[in-house]
Structure 1
């Protein structure tokens, strides 16, 4: 099984995992053979990629941190909570997180924790199979998952992980006060629009500050997730010693998911490139200890990805090495996509992955 972008699909390919639309309804079930009509429907619904079963990816498993069906339900639950706070979606929208909203967010956190317990050992594959129209809600879930996995690697207490998870789920709630035409603008923001966008941490904090049930750490995450340790962030230009560890975790998860997600104005950046970008910023923006814990929980080269090796050979990734994420197990393939041999890049240190090969079903 492997993930393929919608633009690389061809009729006759078997769907590997069920696809859901922006309402959480089943769009296409796993096992169906794709037709021109089905592919058009996927494009129309803004589904960026799907999993397929084909000969090339035979025997490759793509374990999920969060079960696909549970993930879809969690995203829709976040959407319902956020839209109750969005005046453009709800004429009776309230301007604060009430007890009902807070309980709903804690319920999503519990779903995450239960699934992480069930699917221990899996790392997060950033291939997104739901509509890009759900970006804000999908992003909130991804940031929460990445943050919790990082916190576990750092051996934080369960109480701290809960405060972290709730804060991560709510970190962008202030965007509900930003006009949709700015949030979903397909081009660059104007200076005035960018200033409005930069208000979302304070907007979010104002929505939660009066709720005594929400911890100070959670509130700090919402207010300060765009702060950077060198003082270059916003809204308050805080430096390292004034940015709590939980907030630093969410900050890193936030930027990673943002640049590895498909948006209306640009395509995603592969995870391995995103890590290179963040690595260059670590000393200025992020705590190194958080960064090293973080990358252990992300599939830089997800199983099923086609890659070019430094020796000129082509390969498909079979599985990842959690301690050395840049050196997965791969299957060498020939020009006709037939298997040649398997290779553990941990045992062949002179060979490394140079790039991802454009995915397609051809």
Structure 2
């Protein structure tokens, strides 16, 4: 489960390797947090940490792509080095590009040799710089995984060494042009103005201007950078010339990166909205097939991601708050552990592992704060859960302070609304159109 640094407690176990701003290892997976470590994290720019639950709620082994942990750390470090050099020196050493190309091919080999690639992860980075690095990594991995599926289905020809490097490097660099977009626009929590949207829409061309100076970056990788916002129906944007592509004229590798880019953006928490759960993101992408995305490729996402990833936090119709324990892609029951309850009715479930039918899930988030943000936008959900009864927060000790600080204001607002309007409840529904990725991104 993802926990803000301010709410960390001694004894919690780190569930995901944590890297510093320059790619150095800060905390290894499995580290037991101490007061000293927590104090150091609070003084740093780290916003949140993914931790394991208590021993009695420890999740079973996740199903993850077979990318060696040391390789992942290596590539993420190289991505950070790449962006740092572009920002400070506006150039890329040939040696770095060669090392990164070799690393990307190794990642591709791992993904292409894994018959059961399935992603079970939650996104929790809100800082733009951290989001940029993690987004670049995830779009690269997802693009390669989608390409493997496309090859398996005969939609795409077998990729050679250069194809894999082009896809990997192009997907990592797809948003490099955003370095020219002011941070206050990238992290703006409100709707962008017309001028701000126009500035944002310039990033594919600016990215091309940056990468075309480096001969090690091949034309296809450059094409991914400049064309990744081209739409299947021809209404996208990209090159400053205004010469737009559509349909099959958009190279297949570009179409795959566009899908991976949109998916990762949808499931990530951002300043202007909390992330969607994977099943919601996939429904949004499906509806955009034939307009934004290749309708023959967009469904491949379902083959490589899970509907309910390990660590996602759910509000159940009963009033229980549960965290997903085992990544779920198929089947009607999601394996969860109950962290807490808003109601006396489910107080006895706190601390237990339960199977949750999908139709009992009312709302969800990639983190506890993500769930709270979604509930804040839909106060009617809390009215429906409690149906007029007085809320009573009961949470396990490590999550009690977090729950009380974040949920109490919402519940107080809910009590006022119940007095005025009476109880009612509405089920969670995904947006009807392609949304959640801010226009221009």
- TM-score, normalized by length of structure 2? 0.66
Report how far residue 205 of structure 1 moved: 2.0
Q: CA deviation at 1:234?
A: 0.3
- For structure 2, the residue ranges without an aligned partner over 5 or more in a row are 339-345, 369-397, 401-441
1:13/1:275 CA distance change after superposition, 3 Å = farther
Alignment of structure 1 residues 1-362 onto 2, 5 Å: 3-6=1-4, 9-17=7-15, 18-29=17-28, 30-33=30-33, 35=35, 38=38, 41-42=41-42, 44-55=44-55, 57-65=57-65, 66-68=67-69, 70-86=71-87, 90=88, 92-94=89-91, 99-116=94-111, 121-128=116-123, 132=127, 133-155=129-151, 156=156, 157-159=158-160, 160-185=163-188, 188-209=191-212, 213-235=216-238, 236=242, 237-308=244-315, 316-320=323-327, 322=329, 324=330, 327=332, 329-331=334-336, 335=347, 336-339=349-352, 342=355, 351=359, 353-356=361-364, 359=368, 361-362=399-400
Offset of residue 170 of structure 1: 1.7
Given the superposition, is the C-alpha separation of residues 340 and 98 from structure 1 closer, same or farther in structure 2, using an over 3 Å criterion?
closer
Deviation, 1:227, is: 0.9
Question: Alpha-carbon deviations, 1:225-250, whole Å to 9, x = none?
Answer: 00111222102443213212211110
Q: Flag the 1:198–1:26 CA change in 2: closer, same or farther, 3 A.
A: same
Counterpart of 2:439? none
Aligned residues: 347
- Larger mean CA deviation between 101-110 and 226-235 belongs to 101-110
* Post-superposition offset of 1:187: 5.1
Evaluate the alpha carbon distance shift between residue 255 and residue 21 of structure 1 in structure 2; reply closer, same or farther with a 3 A threshold: same
Query: In the aligned structure 2, how far is the partner of 1:261 from the partner of 1:121?
Result: 24
C-alpha distance in 1, partners of 2:200/2:321?
43
Deviation for aligned residue 1:98: 6.3
How far residue 135 of structure 1 moved from its aligned partner, in angstroms, is 1.7
Tell which deviates more after alignment, 243-252 or 66-75. Answer: 66-75
Report the CA distance shift for 1:126/1:198 in structure 2 as closer, same or farther (over 3 A).
farther
**Cα 1:33–1:102, aligned 2, differ >3 Å: closer, same or farther?**
closer
Distance across 2 between alignment mates of 1:218 and 1:193: 27
User: 3-state SS of the aligned residue for 1:307?
Assistant: strand
Q: CA deviation at 1:37?
A: 7.2
Deviates more, 1:152-161 or 1:202-211: 202-211
Contact map agreement 1:321 1:327 (CA 8 A) in 2: no
Mapped partners of 1:115, 1:43: distance in 2: 37
Unaligned runs of 5+ in 1: none
* Distance (whole Å) between structure 2 residues aligned to residue 338 and residue 183 of structure 1: 40
* TM-fit CA distance, 1:331: 4.6
SS at match of 1:355: strand
The 3-state SS of whatever aligns with 1:285 is coil
* Structure 2 SS opposite 1:361: helix
Contact 1:228-1:284 within 8 A present in 2 as well: yes
Secondary structure of 1:62's partner? coil
Offset at residue 60 of structure 1 (A): 2.1
Structure 2 counterpart SS, 1:280: helix
Give secondary structure in 1 for the equivalent of 2:399.
coil
Q: Which moved more, 1:246-255 or 1:332-341?
A: 332-341
**Contact 1:83/1:176 (<8 A) preserved:** no
Alignment TM-score, normalising by the size of structure 1: 0.79
Rounded to whole Å, the distance in 2 between the matches of 1:190 and 1:231 is 24
Q: Post-superposition shift, 1:305?
A: 3.3
